[in-house]
């Protein structure tokens, strides 16, 4: 039980003194002479097992002292005491500060979870051991600079409070890679290096902001092409070091999912169908920044399959948008197999891709021409059916009230139409990302970064790029 005590609670003050080696007269004196000082205790079975002493000084708050008895640690008591203070100070102060020993990892982690940020070092503050000044900004807008460079787009974006886009710049290398029929990793990383400073500059100009006005930096550090990821990551670390801004690690797919929050605030429990050039998966989210993968592709990603199907009918890379357009003109007339038609949440697209390629080659050998529109319509029809089947399974079996799609392929008209129909028929709320933010961009990374920040996620300069990063 939490209780804020005052000068009349002499018994409790005495117990505080006994349990935490306080000097009784000091607390009493402090209470009598310092109108800013507040003491809050935590009692379990009538025993004072934790306390927090905080100051409320006009527009500033400070946590001065905080302790929980050894035997009562790891039970969430510290958590509750800090939450109590944050609630008390909410709406009254601009910020809450505190000092912590630099080697007290446990406390630092707890404060970071509550969104305190390291501000500066106080050398030798604790009898020779450095102290760290931490600050939690209250009622303040948070501006996050997002950085995305996992594949062939170099992008920077500034998003306010995880929902309001201030400025985004995307430099695409599609024209460079088109000639090779796909992204060439080495060329992609070299171009990121060439572009990165210009794109950052343009983004800040577009936002009419300086780096000093940015609160933190969100970086898409995986999955993706390792060389490409490293360019963005090194840029993020350099900016973080130079301007003393916290670094927030963001999973690229979390970014795709959070592109939806720029359209409408995401609500939970939520199902996300992620369909991109590198991923195809169903993800369940019970709350913000909590991801549970229900199933995924066993082989090719859907975007990859679209690109290969496009290639065999001579459509330029990336072929998805053209195949989608042709599919709307044509009729379903070619017989194609329904992939992985089972009762799992998994997908498989390599069989479907091979079936399309074989069909085209066989017809060519026979000297028959292919009706590209009909082939695209037939292919897309099977894609839509398999996506709907697995999505429906999740919607029927789980407690899901909200649905989103994410990733480059979520721009697909045919897929959108069918999924919209499915959700409407079941009374499920759905959001689809803006077409311009379906493919890779930094607005989605800055948006996801805000919720990663609220979830207490932070990175230091040891953060490494991970080409096969798991979503968790
Ligand atoms: O999400 P994204 O930019 O890259 C990854 O993170 O993987 O997705 C790119 C993929 C490409 O394969 C592209 O062909 C596909 O998205 N795509 C589409 C459409 N627009 C883009 N696929 C089908 N229909 C579309 N309209
Ligand atoms: Zn992507």
Pocket of ligand 1 (CB under 6 A): 151, 276-278, 303, 306-307, 318-321, 324, 407-409, 411-412, 439-440
Tell me the percentage of the chain whose pLDDT exceeds 90.
86
The predicted structure's pLDDT at residue 107: 92
145 falls in which pLDDT band (50, 70, 90)? very high
Long-range contacts (CB closer than 8 Å, 24 or more residues apart) made by 33-36: none
The predicted structure's pLDDT at residue 449? 98
If DSSP codes are grouped into helix, strand and coil, which group holds residue 447?
A: helix
pLDDT, mean of residues 342-367: 96
For range 111-130, the mean pLDDT: 90
- 408 CA to centre of ligand 2 in angstroms: 6
Query: Which tokens hold the place of 222?
Result: 């995986």
| Ligand nearest to the Cα of 170, by number | 1
75: Cβ contacts below 8 Å, ≥ 6 apart: none
Distance separating the N- and C-terminal Cα atoms of the chain: 33
Mean pLDDT of 330-334: 97
Q: Tens of pLDDT along 295-304?
A: 999 999 999 9
pLDDT in tens, 265-279: 999 999 999 999 999
Q: What pLDDT score was predicted for residue 181? A: 75
Q: Give long-range contacts, CB 8 A cutoff, 24+ apart: 334-340.
A: 334/359, 334/374, 334/375, 334/378, 334/379, 335/378, 336/378, 336/379, 336/382, 337/382, 338/382, 338/385, 338/386, 339/382, 339/386, 340/298, 340/386
- Residue positions counted in the chain: 472
Using the predicted structure, report yes or no on whether residue 195 has a pLDDT greater than 90.
yes
Contact 169, 154 (CB under 8 A): no
Ligand 2 center from residue 277 Cα (angstroms): 7
| Residue 293, phi then psi, degrees to nearest 5 | -80, 120
CATH 3.30.420.40 fits domain 264-432 = yes
Give the domain ranges of the chain. 2-137, 143-257+441-454, 264-432
* Mean pLDDT value of segment 344-367: 96
Distance CA 468, CA 472 (A): 12
- Which residues lie across from 100 on neighbouring strands? 132
Ligand 1 atom closest to the Cα of residue 319 is: 14
139: its two tokens:
């009622």
Identify the residue whose C-alpha is closest to ligand 1 atom 4.
Answer: 277
Integer angstrom CA distances of residue 70 from 53, 77, 345: 18, 11, 45
Is residue 72 pLDDT above 80, yes or no?
A: yes
Distance (Å) from CA 276 to ligand 2 centroid:
6
CATH code of 2-137, in short, is 3.40.630.30
Q: Which ligand is nearest to the CA of 278?
A: 1
Res 201 pLDDT > 80: yes
User: Rounded distance, CA 27 to CA 34, Å?
Assistant: 10
DSSP 8-state class, residue 317: S
Report residue 20 as tokens. 């935490």
Ramachandran area for residue 58 (φ above 0: left; ψ -120 to 50: alpha; else beta): left
Buried b (16+ CB within 10 A) or exposed e, 184-197: bbeebbbbbbebbe
34 within 8 A of 46, measured Cβ to Cβ: no
Structure tokens given for 394: 């999740």
* 25/220 Cα distance (integer angstroms): 54
Residue 192: which pLDDT band, with cuts at 50, 70 and 90?
A: very high
Beta bridge pairs of residue 145 = 158, 217
Cβ neighbours, 10 Å, residue 120: 11
pLDDT of 187 over the 90 cut? no
Report the alpha-carbon distance of residue 405 to residue 399 in Å, rounded. 17
Nearest CA to ligand 1 atom 23: 320
Give the tens place of pLDDT for each residue, 357-405: 999 999 999 999 999 999 999 999 999 999 999 999 999 999 999 999 9
Q: Residue 405's beta-bridge partner residues? A: 273
Q: Is the pLDDT of residue 317 over 90?
A: no
Which residue owns the Cα nearest ligand 1 atom 7?
Answer: 277
pLDDT of residue 164: 97
pLDDT of residue 26: 86
Topology match between the domains 2-137 and 264-432: no
Query: What are 146-155's pLDDT values in tens digits?
Result: 999 999 899 9
Mean pLDDT, the chain, as a whole number?
Answer: 94
Distance CA 431, CA 258 (A): 11
Query: Is the pLDDT confidence value at 284 over 90?
Result: yes
The predicted structure's pLDDT at residue 173: 81
Beta bridge partners of 171: 154
Confidence of residue 430 (pLDDT cuts 50, 70, 90): very high
Residue 237: HSE in the Cβ half-sphere, 13 Å Cα cutoff: 14
Neighbour tally for 398: CB within 10 Å = 13
Pocket test for ligand 1, best of 174, 308, 318 (most atoms within 8 A of CB): 318
Look up the pTM and report it. 0.82
Residue 54 pLDDT level (bands cut at 50, 70, 90) = very high
Q: 129-144 pLDDT, tens per residue?
A: 999 999 998 878 899 9
Out of 3.40.1390.10, 3.30.420.40, 3.30.70.20, 2.40.50.1070, the CATH code matching 143-257+441-454 is: 3.30.420.40
| Residue 468 CA to ligand 1 centre (angstroms) | 19
258 CA to centre of ligand 2 in angstroms? 12
pLDDT at 23: 77
For residues 201 and 3, give the distance between their C-alpha atoms in angstroms, rounded to a whole number.
51
pLDDT of residue 24 exceeding 80: no
CB-side exposure of 328: number of CA atoms within 13 Å?
11
Atom 16 of ligand 1, nearest CA residue:
408
Write out the DSSP string of 73-93. Answer: TTSSHHHHHHHHHHHHHTTT-
Distance, CA 201 to ligand 1 centroid (Å)? Answer: 27
DSSP 262: G
Q: What is the pLDDT of residue 366?
A: 94
Q: How close is the Cα of 304 to the center of ligand 2, in Å?
A: 12
Residue 172 predicted with pLDDT over 90:
no
**Per-residue tokens: 374:** 């009909």
Place 96 in a pLDDT band, splitting at 50, 70 and 90: very high
On the question of pLDDT at 182 being above 80, the answer is: no
d(CA 358, CA 400): 39
Q: Which ligand is nearest to the CA of 172?
A: 1
The enclosing H or E element of 26 equals helix 24-33
Alpha helix segments (H runs only) across 286-412: 302-312, 320-329, 350-365, 372-397
| 3-class secondary-structure state, position 23 | coil
- Ligand 1 atom closest to the Cα of residue 256 is 1
Percent of the chain's residues with pLDDT above 70: 100
């Amino acid at each position: 039980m939490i209780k804020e005590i005052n000068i009349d609670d002499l018994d409790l003050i005495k117990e505080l003194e006994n349990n935490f080696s306080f000097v009784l007269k000091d607390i009493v004196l402090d209470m009598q002479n310092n109108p800013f000082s507040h003491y809050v205790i935590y009692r379990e079975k009538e025993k004072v097992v934790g306390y927090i002493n905080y100051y409320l000084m006009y527009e500033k708050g400070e946590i001065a002292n905080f302790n929980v008895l050894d035997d009562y640690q790891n039970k969430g008591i510290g958590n509750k005491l800090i939450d109590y203070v944050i609630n008390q100070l909410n709406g009254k102060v601009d910020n809450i500060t505190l000092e912590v020993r630099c080697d007290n990892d446990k406390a630092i982690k707890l404060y970071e979870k509550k969104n305190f940020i390291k501000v500066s070092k106080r050398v030798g503050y604790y009898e020779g051991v450095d102290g760290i000044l931490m600050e939690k900004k209250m009622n303040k807008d948070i501006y996050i600079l997002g950085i995305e460079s996992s594949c062939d787009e170099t992008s920077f974006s500034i998003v306010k409070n995880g929902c309001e886009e201030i400025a985004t710049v995307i430099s695409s290398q599609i024209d460079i890679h088109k000639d090779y029929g796909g992204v060439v990793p080495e060329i992609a990383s070299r171009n990121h290096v060439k572009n990165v400073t210009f794109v950052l500059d343009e983004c800040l100009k577009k936002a009419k902001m300086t780096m000093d006005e940015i609160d933190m930096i969100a970086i898409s550090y995986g999955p993706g092409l390792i060389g490409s990821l490293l360019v963005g990551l090194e840029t993020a670390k350099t900016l973080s070091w130079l301007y003393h801004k916290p670094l927030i690690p963001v999973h690229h797919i979390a970014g795709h999912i959070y592109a939806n929050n720029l359209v409408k605030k995401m609500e939970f429990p939520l199902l996300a169908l992620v369909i991109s050039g590198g991923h195809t998966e169903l993800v369940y989210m019970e709350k913000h920044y909590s991801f549970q993968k229900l199933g995924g592709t066993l082989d090719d990603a859907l975007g990859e399959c679209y690109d290969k199907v496009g290639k065999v009918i001579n459509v330029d890379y990336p072929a998805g948008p053209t195949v989608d357009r042709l599919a709307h003109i044509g009729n379903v007339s070619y017989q194609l197999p329904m992939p992985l038609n089972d009762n799992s949440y998994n997908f498989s697209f390599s069989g479907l891709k091979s079936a399309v390629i074989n069909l085209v080659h066989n017809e060519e050998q026979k000297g028959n021409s292919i009706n590209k529109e009909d082939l695209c319509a037939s292919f897309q029809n099977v894609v839509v059916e398999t996506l709907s089947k697995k999505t429906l399974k999740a919607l029927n079996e789980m407690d899901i009230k909200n649905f989103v799609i994410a990733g480059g392929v979520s721009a697909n008209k045919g897929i959108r139409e069918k999924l919209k129909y499915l959700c409407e028929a079941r009374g499920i709320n759905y959001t689809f990302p803006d077409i311009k933010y379906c493919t890779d961009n930094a607005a989605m990374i800055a948006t996801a970064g805000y919720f990663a920040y609220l979830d207490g996620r932070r990175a230091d300069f040891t953060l490494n790029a991970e080409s096969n990063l798991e979503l968790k």
